[in-house]
Amino acid sequence: MVYNVESTEKFKEALQADKLIVVDFYATWCGPCKVIAPKLVEFEKEFTNASFIKVDVDDLCDVAAEYSIRNMPTFLLIKNSEILETVVGANPQKLKEAIAKHA
């Protein structure tokens, strides 16, 4: 299940997992974010060794600011608190390739 993080504390807890974390920075008003959302569910089923979390940039603007998120959707691939790759935009193929590379 793609987990929607609702607090900064929960976000920091989620990053403690000892596997790849795919963070989807999105906004409820963002059309491309809505388009790619079903792909995240597919990717979660395919890449069972990764965790998928969503961060609403309007609700957690402090987290979005900390990672300098300016465009939605933006995906950060994080492992051991290190950003391995950033994918900006609703490009499912590019995102899938990035996940496959780091998972």
The residues annotated as belonging to the active site are 30, 33
On whether the CB atoms of residues 46 and 36 are closer than 8 A, the answer is no
Output the six-digit token pair for 41.
Answer: 């569910």
CA distances in angstroms from 4 to 35, 57, 65, 100, listed in the order given: 17, 11, 18, 22
